[in-house]
Chain A
Amino acid sequence: EAQVTQNPRYLITVTGKKLTVTCSQNMNHEYMSWYRQDPGLGLRQIYYSMNVEVTDKGDVPEGYKVSRKEKRNFPLILESPSPNQTSLYFCASSPRVANTEAFFGQGTRLTVV
């Protein structure tokens, strides 16, 4: 089954404690991205990757890092989480950069206290 898998689904952590949210896709897609979804603000892109070792900032990259060492994986790293990073996070993948549908993961609900 074609899918994008995120882990964990739910996470409560404390300010400053480094964490990683994993994302894996089994469709051999080139393009992957991370979004956060907040009430009243909708979905906003954090980072994206066009292929292995090619990543760039989206609209709200502050406080986040990513890496793309393998085509299937695109982890999101919060080096020092803060309460304003409390949000619902989605990983997405697409066959190519433009003009194509995105497949989303199930989401990770992160709470930073």
Chain B
Amino acid sequence: EDQVTQSPEALRLQEGESSSLNCSYTVSGLRGLFWYRQDPGKGPEFLFTLYSAGEEKEKERLKATLTKKESFLHITAPKPEDSATYLCAVQGWGSSNTGKLIFGQGTTLQVKP
């Protein structure tokens, strides 16, 4: 069964304190791994798609990396506006014909000034 586990559940950082969020996945053939950001009361907002081990993507202070078993979202010198819940999702070959995304529970990040 396809499964996604994110850790930690919650993370508090001081502004400027870099850290990483983890997404471990089990899927029968990875079609794509997606990172989303969700602000309170809003829908998930797309950040990155990673397709194969070794791939990296960057956007401002965020960098996503992928191995065969997990993905990391690195946050460099975070600012308070980076506070949000970060969701990881996978799509496997088995579900590629349904378009279904399997989501993790998310990591809620709070960055204090």
A residues adjacent to B (C-beta < 8 A): 4, 31, 33, 40-45, 48, 50, 56, 58-59, 90, 92, 94, 97-107
Q: Which residues of B contact A90 (CB under 8 A)?
A: 43-44
Complex CA gap A105/B49 in Å reads 19
Q: How would you classify the secondary structure of chain B's contact residues: helix, strand, loop or mixed?
A: loop
Interface digits, B67-105 against A, CB 8 Å rule (1 contact, 0 not)? 000000000000000000001010100001111110111
Q: Does B25 make an interface contact (CB < 8 A)?
A: no
Complex CA gap A90/B46 in Å reads 14
Q: Which residues of B contact A101 (CB under 8 A)?
A: 34, 46, 49
How many inter-chain residue pairs (CB < 8 Å) link A and B? 69
Interface contact A33-B44, CB-CB below 8 Å? no
Q: Which residues of A contact B113 (CB under 8 A)?
A: none
Interface contact A106-B46, CB-CB below 8 Å? no
Given contacts A4-B43, A90-B44, A107-B42, are A102 and B101 in contact (CB under 8 A)?
A: yes
Complex CA gap A90/B106 in Å reads 16
Q: Classify chain B: how many residues form its interface, as a range.
A: 20 to 34
Contact of A107 among B41, B46, B101 (CB under 8 A): B41
Whole-angstrom distance from the CB of A103 to the nearest CB of chain B? Answer: 7
Contact of B32 among A40, A41, A99 (CB under 8 A): A99
